[in-house]
Amino acid sequence: MKKENEEKKDKKTRKKKKGALGTLHLLQHICFAGAACLVAVVLLSSFVTVEGRKEKETFFFDMGDTNAEFEDSMVFNKLLGRDISDIICYGAIRAQLETDGKFDPKKVIDVTAFDNRYSGIDGEYITARYYLEDLLKWAQYGFETEETYMTGEEADQFLSRTREVTYVEGNGDGGSYLNTDLEQKVRVVDVSGNVFSDPENPIRDNVTVNILKNRYHTVDGKNIEDYVSSWEEYTALRDHVQSAAEDLLINYNEYLTYQDYYDNADSNFVYFVRRTTGDQTDVYSNETVKNKSMNALTAQLQDTCSRYLIYDPQNMSFTTNTKVQEKTPRYVLNGYSYAYPDDTQILVGVKTGYKEADAFQTAKNAYSHYSPYLWQYLIVIVLLLGLYLLLMVVLTAAEGRAVTLENGEKKVLLKGEDKIPTEIMLVLAVLAGELLVISGYQGARLLKSVTGEFTEGRPLICSIALLYALLVSGCLSFFYFSMVRRIKAGTLWRDSLLAMLVSVSRRAGSYLYGHTNILLRVLIPSGAILVAVLISILIAYRSTAGTTAALMLILILAGICVILFLLRAAVGRDKILTGIKKMNAGDMNYQIPEEGLTGDNLVLAREVNHIGDGIREAVAISMKDERLKADLITNVSHDIKTPLTSIINYVDLLKRENIEDEKVKEYIAVLDAKSQRLKQLTDDLVEASKISSGNIVLHFERIDLIELLHQSIGEFSEKFESRGLTPVLRTKNGSAYIEADSRRIFRVIENLFGNVFKYALPGTRVYIDVEEKNSESGTLVCVSVKNISENPVSVSGDELTERFIRGDESRTTEGSGLGLSIAKNLTTAMKGQMEVQVDGDLFKVVLQFPKLEVQKETAQ
Amino acid sequence: MNILVCDDDREIVDAIEIYLNQEGYHVLKAYDGEQALEVLKTESVQLVIIDIMMPKLDGIRATIRIRESNSVPVIFLSAKSEDTDKILGLNVGADDYVTKPFNPLELVARVKSNLRRYTSLGSLNVTNNALFTAGGLCMNDDTKEVTVDGEPVKLTPIEYNILLLLVKNQGRVFSIDQIYENIWNEEAIGADNTVAVHIRHIREKIEINPKEPRYLKVVWGVGYKVEKQ
């Protein structure tokens, strides 16, 4: 019952958790969508579209203008700037088309002056004068020319004999366009007889020229050919007429739009353009002008407009309470300098009541909806995005957390989509992203066209943005959290196609490896490499540089792989070799580390380790056996010693009795000798077995072999003397240090000397030589003991060091037969070597120990 | 003087009795540890010779029990000849250790030595500046007399000087060359075995068993020393 309850509880909490998680996800999407929606709102209200002169114009609000007055904002500035530029341009056109402030179709146009209005004109020039309406109509209709061939005479007929030259009194060297308008400055003079040396008999060439069809005539009712006396002059004038008319037509059309837009009573914008040419002062304005004087105009402007700008370049005066800078009117005015005399003033202003429905009013309304709320919007957006990121972090931590299953196992629960192979999921993610981007872009374009550059249907746009953001957020979460769960469950790699590929190829490889013989194992990979290289060469031979480079890269990479593989194999082999060497050197506990080894090397290492195990076991068993044997011998010797004690004691007691019988005395002597030998034998036996079983503890210290030999000879001096033996110690140095156990090394020497004492021919010399020898493993100290054997030695040197072997085989002499064996084993235990050489009767024992390098000073 | 001999091998006990009787000692016999403890309770005993491996109560444990109430000299007599056995025996309170099979004369000498030390201990006058001692070894530099456990020993002048050098510098190891230079006051050029022979002679004179010296020890391959007692 309880368990069930708990389970229910568990499920409940899990459900709750799931619910909470779901809510968080939803919240996250809402945050993102809300932020997107607000961004849309901010973007949509960040610009204003106003009616322009020709088309709608869009102005973006400047972020820095927040909380600024509309009149101080950038958008006001831009609007005003646009208007200033427009009215200056308008003024220039008006000067061309109007007389006394009204459009004048009968205005006389000097085509050459007009056409050269930008560059200025020479003091004297040839021109034609037309009525404005004629030129406009002509341009509207189009200019027609005809390619005509003329003989000299015909040309003479066609062109005038004289030409009409206009002189303009200008300032400086040339006349300016402005002055051509002033009658008092223009002088028209007919010039004749200057063209030809003999006017009665002119000679002209035959030519082919484009003759303009004269649709309209000049104010004098003439045509252009009547003003010129040469073809050059004709073509120049013809072109001037044509381009002046075309320019005028363009300007006329502009003029109409300006007029429509600016000379309109329903405007919050007020302007006065005052220009004075000579005595004549014109004022262009959209207000009724009563007095053309500057003061009056200024007063009128300041009365009606609370924001204004007064620019008087001649007096270097610029007055404004707007943010428009002086350079704005200056630059524009410079562009139209031909139309404006130096004495020009620009006065503009804005009625800040914005009572009239115009661009300023529209912008003002939009601005008041945008500016005060921008920062609030931005803060909310940042907050929402921050919350979104926070939730991202929280959910990243929470998603795919391992849950404890009923059986106590911890497991990350995966969803259906998490089992799709990683790469497919990634491809899907990329596709989805691409789809979203494309649909977003196309959708935005569609919306733009439907909503008229986003000026209408703002709620619709915002809700579409919201839905789109939900979609984006959903997609992002779907893929992102799937990856998170994969990583946590550790299936990111496992469930990937690449992992499957690797696993399959590895399995195939290992199958190949396990089921083929060693020859194939080497042949298949190397054959594959060879074939790959050959194919690459073939491909490279027949392909472009790019492909070749790619192939080279692949080959190099493959080469690096092979090198790495070989390196790994070599390192592994080295490890094994080191291990084998160590084992060989006696370190039976060494195990070749199997980490990092693969393939054949791993197998090899395992086998070697197995051999090592086997040897170790065998050694352990044999050591144990030896020890048991030594223990047995020790115990047996104890048991022998007790009765032996009695034998020795009672033999001794017998010796003390006064026995007369020589025979009995002799018997007792034999008993005495043999019991003493038995004693020696048991002692030696125990020692020999202990040494050979490694059952002794050695205390290594620094030993001077020469000192030791002196001491030993001292010990044996009387024994040697008793047999007439003379020890001769020959040394090269005063000392020869080695590392050995003090008592054990004496035991070795004692046994050797004992041997000499027992078996040497009486009356001979015993040579003991100490010398140093260099070998691979360092300097060795050699001690050789040489003597002449009393009896022929019938066994080899090697055999003599075996247990119970004696040179005479008769075993009648004293000695256990263990002396040399003990000496040899002890020597070996002390890292030395002992060798017995028999050369006829010469008996030689050589001891070798590694020399201990010490300074003589420190030694003493 | 009463000497308690304890061994489970009756023949050994009997043999020891014969030797000790010849020297004028009275022997009390026991054949295991418990019997030995019984004898000690009832009789006045001046020295104990005891085997280690015995039934009922072995020599080691018996000695521990003896040492609880008695400071009588104890000599172990054992077939166990290992160093570890000897060290163990001496550590539990024995004064000497003789391995089987033993030389009867050596045993008797050790008995005598131990008894002398036991009975004359404390009567030694150590205030004399010319008196040098190392355990039972005593050298009087004024009279040039040397005694071991009270027994006078005759040494040649060189032997005496060598021994004095070692006794004066107890614990320090002297190499052959150093001894030579000290005694002969000459530089030792390729010293021979003279010193070693002298040392052996000294050992034979002052030691009961020269092969297992108590006083003048040989450090093979290094030199000679008198152990600090």
Nearest residue on chain B to A728, alpha-carbon basis: B192
Residue closest to A706 by CA, chosen among A594, A783, A789: A783
d(CA A473, CA A475): 5
Q: Is residue A600 part of a domain?
A: no
Q: What is the structure's pLDDT at A575?
A: 85
- Asked if B176 lies within 8 A of A742 by C-beta distance, the reply is no
Statement to judge: residues B14 and B113 lie in one domain: yes
Statement to judge: residues A687 and A708 lie in one domain: no
In this structure, what DSSP letter does residue A813 have? S
Give the SS3 label for residue A755.
helix
Statement to judge: residues A234 and A273 lie in one domain: no
CB B94 within 8 Å of CB B63: yes
d(CA A225, CA A223): 6
**Final residue belonging to a domain, choices B81, B101, B120:** B120
Backbone φ, ψ for residue A126 (5° rounding): -100, 135
Q: What is the structure's pLDDT at A96?
A: 85
Q: What is the structure's pLDDT at A854?
A: 67
**Residues with Cβ within 8 Å of residue A579, at least 6 apart in sequence:** A590, A591, A592, A605, A608, A609, A612
| Arithmetic mean of pLDDT, A391-399 | 88
d(CA B164, CA B224): 13
Q: Is residue A592 part of a domain?
A: no
Q: What is the structure's pLDDT at A409?
A: 76
Backbone φ, ψ for residue A111 (5° rounding): -65, -40
Q: How many CB atoms lie within 10 A of CB A610?
A: 10
Statement to judge: residues A840 and A764 lie in one domain: yes
A467 CB-side CA count, 13 A: 9
d(CA A842, CA A824): 19
Q: What is the structure's pLDDT at A807?
A: 55
Domain that holds residue B146: 131-226
CA angle A685, A689, A693 (to 5 degrees): 175
Q: What is the structure's pLDDT at A174?
A: 45
| Arithmetic mean of pLDDT, A220-230 | 82
Residues in a beta bridge with A849 = A781
Statement to judge: residues A268 and A241 lie in one domain: no
Q: What is the structure's pLDDT at A94?
A: 86
Give the SS3 label for residue A669.
helix
| Arithmetic mean of pLDDT, A481-486 | 87
What length is written for chain A?
860
**Residues with Cβ within 8 Å of residue A396, at least 6 apart in sequence:** A481, A484
Domain count along chain B: 2
For residue A677, how far is the Cα from the chain centroid? 89
d(CA A288, CA A271): 11
d(CA A816, CA A633): 15
Residue closest to A594 by CA, chosen among A584, A603, A586, A585: A603
For residue A299, how far is the Cα from the chain centroid? 69
Which range of A114-128, A195-209, A448-462, B151-165 scores highest in mean pLDDT? It is B151-165
| Backbone φ/ψ region at A660: left (φ over 0), alpha (ψ -120 to 50), beta | alpha
Statement to judge: residues A711 and A848 lie in one domain: yes
Statement to judge: residues B92 and B10 lie in one domain: yes
E-strand spans in A595-735? 700-704, 726-731
CA angle A230, A234, A239 (to 5 degrees): 155
Which residue type does B66 have?
I
Q: DSSP per residue over A291-330, as a string? A: --SHHHHHHHHHHH-SEEEEEETTTTEEEESSS--THHHH
d(CA A234, CA A218): 15
Chain B partners of A644 at a C-beta cutoff of 8 Å? 100-101
Statement to judge: residues B11 and B100 lie in one domain: yes
**Final residue belonging to a domain, choices B120, B141, B162:** B120
| Arithmetic mean of pLDDT, A674-688 | 84
- Asked if B222 lies within 8 A of A701 by C-beta distance, the reply is yes
- Sign of the Cα pseudo-torsion (A74, A78, A79, A81, in order): positive
In this structure, what DSSP letter does residue B224 have? E
Give the closest of B12, B104, B197 to A714, CB-based.
Answer: B197
Q: Is residue A10 part of a domain?
A: yes
Statement to judge: residues A413 and A429 lie in one domain: yes
Asked if B107 has any chain A CB less than 8 Å from its own CB, the reply is: no
CATH number, position B166: 1.10.10.10
Q: Is residue B16 part of a domain?
A: yes
Domain that holds residue A181: 105-259
Nearest residue on chain A to B217, alpha-carbon basis: A743
Residue closest to A335 by CA, chosen among A169, A514, A93, A530: A93
Encode pLDDT of A708-759 as tens digits: 888 898 888 888 999 899 888 888 877 888 989 988 899 899 989 988 888 8
- H or E segment to which residue A23 belongs: helix A2-44
Q: Is residue B206 part of a domain?
A: yes
d(CA A628, CA A594): 36
CB A181 within 8 Å of CB A277: yes
**Final residue belonging to a domain, choices A492, A507, A535:** A492
**Final residue belonging to a domain, choices B120, B139, B154:** B120
Question: What tokens appear for A748 in the block?
Answer: 């070795």
For residue A722, how far is the Cα from the chain centroid? 94
Q: Label residue A66 exposed, middle or buried (CB < 10 Å: 0-12, 13-18, 19+).
A: middle
Q: What is the structure's pLDDT at A173?
A: 41
Q: Is residue A66 part of a domain?
A: yes
pLDDT bucket at A3, cuts 50 / 70 / 90: low
Statement to judge: residues B63 and B165 lie in one domain: no
Helix ranges, A693-741 (H)? 705-722
Statement to judge: residues B111 and B10 lie in one domain: yes
Chain B partners of A702 at a C-beta cutoff of 8 Å? 222
- Asked if A742 lies within 8 A of B193 by C-beta distance, the reply is no
Encode pLDDT of A658-669 as tens digits: 888 888 888 888
Which residue type does B105 have?
L
Q: Is residue B125 part of a domain?
A: no
- H or E segment to which residue A644 belongs: helix A599-656
Chain B partners of A653 at a C-beta cutoff of 8 Å? 15, 18
CB A354 within 8 Å of CB A1: no
pLDDT bucket at A200, cuts 50 / 70 / 90: low
Nearest residue on chain B to A635, alpha-carbon basis: B80
Chain A partners of B222 at a C-beta cutoff of 8 Å? 701-704, 707, 742
Statement to judge: residues A249 and A142 lie in one domain: yes
- H or E segment to which residue A347 belongs: strand A344-350
Statement to judge: residues A727 and A826 lie in one domain: yes
| Arithmetic mean of pLDDT, A642-666 | 87
Q: What is the structure's pLDDT at A10?
A: 59
Q: What does the mean pLDDT of chain A come to?
A: 82
Give the SS3 label for residue A153.
helix
**Residues with Cβ within 8 Å of residue A598, at least 6 apart in sequence:** A568, A569, A572
CB B204 within 8 Å of CB B210: yes
Give the closest of B12, B104, B196 to A713, CB-based.
Answer: B196
Encode pLDDT of B109-134 as tens digits: 889 888 887 776 555 555 566 788 88
Cis omega (within 30 of 0) on the bond before B101?
A: yes
Place of tokens 């009922």: B56
Q: What is the structure's pLDDT at A306?
A: 87
**Residues with Cβ within 8 Å of residue A231, at least 6 apart in sequence:** A155, A159, A207, A209
| Arithmetic mean of pLDDT, B182-191 | 75
Which residue type does A628 have?
L
Q: What is the structure's pLDDT at A357?
A: 83
Prediction ipTM score: 0.81
pLDDT bucket at A657, cuts 50 / 70 / 90: confident
CATH number, position B86: 3.40.50.2300
Statement to judge: residues B140 and B99 lie in one domain: no
CATH number, position A784: 3.30.565.10
Encode pLDDT of A143-177 as tens digits: 888 888 888 777 777 877 777 777 776 544 445 67
Q: Is residue A604 part of a domain?
A: no
- Distance of CA A355 to CAs A365, A463, A661, B108, Å? 12, 34, 170, 149
Q: What is the structure's pLDDT at A383?
A: 93
Nearest residue on chain B to A675, alpha-carbon basis: B101
| Arithmetic mean of pLDDT, B50-64 | 88
CA angle A397, A398, A400 (to 5 degrees): 100
- Asked if B193 lies within 8 A of A710 by C-beta distance, the reply is yes
Chain A partners of B224 at a C-beta cutoff of 8 Å? 711
Statement to judge: residues A486 and A564 lie in one domain: no
Domain count along chain A: 6
Give the SS3 label for residue A677.
helix
* In chain A, % of residues over pLDDT 90: 7
Q: What is the structure's pLDDT at B50?
A: 92
d(CA B229, CA B214): 10
Q: Which has the minimum average pLDDT: A98-112, A194-208, A671-685?
A: A194-208
Q: How far is A621 from chain B (nearest CA, A)?
A: 25
Residues in a beta bridge with A110 = A129
Interface test with B, best of A652, A715, A854 (most B CBs within 10 A): A715
d(CA B205, CA B198): 11
Interface test with A, best of B12, B174, B219, B220 (most A CBs within 10 A): B220
Statement to judge: residues A76 and A205 lie in one domain: no
Strand A765-775 to A726-731 pairing: parallel
CA angle A301, A308, A368 (to 5 degrees): 125
d(CA B193, CA A729): 10
Question: What tokens appear for A361 in the block?
Answer: 């009013």
Statement to judge: residues B104 and B193 lie in one domain: no
Q: How far is B226 from chain A (nearest CA, A)?
A: 16
**Final residue belonging to a domain, choices A259, A290, A306:** A259
Which range of A331-340, A551-560, B23-32 scores highest in mean pLDDT? It is B23-32
- With 0.90 as the threshold, say if the pTM is over it: no
| Arithmetic mean of pLDDT, A250-261 | 89
Burial A564-574 (b: 16+ CB within 10 A, else e): eeeeeeeebee
Q: What is the structure's pLDDT at A813?
A: 54
| Arithmetic mean of pLDDT, A807-811 | 51
pLDDT of residue A431 exceeding 90, the answer is yes
Q: What is the structure's pLDDT at A202?
A: 58
**Final residue belonging to a domain, choices A228, A259, A290:** A259
Statement to judge: residues A786 and A723 lie in one domain: yes
Compute the count of residue pairs across chains A and B with CB atoms less than 8 Å apart: 113
Q: Is residue A142 part of a domain?
A: yes
Q: How far is B113 from chain A (nearest CA, A)?
A: 21
Statement to judge: residues A755 and A830 lie in one domain: yes
Place of tokens 């540089």: A545
- Distance of CA A541 to CAs A514, A532, A537, A553, A556, Å? 38, 14, 6, 15, 17
CB A144 within 8 Å of CB A196: no
Nearest residue on chain B to A656, alpha-carbon basis: B19
d(CA A7, CA B41): 83
* In chain A, % of residues over pLDDT 70: 91
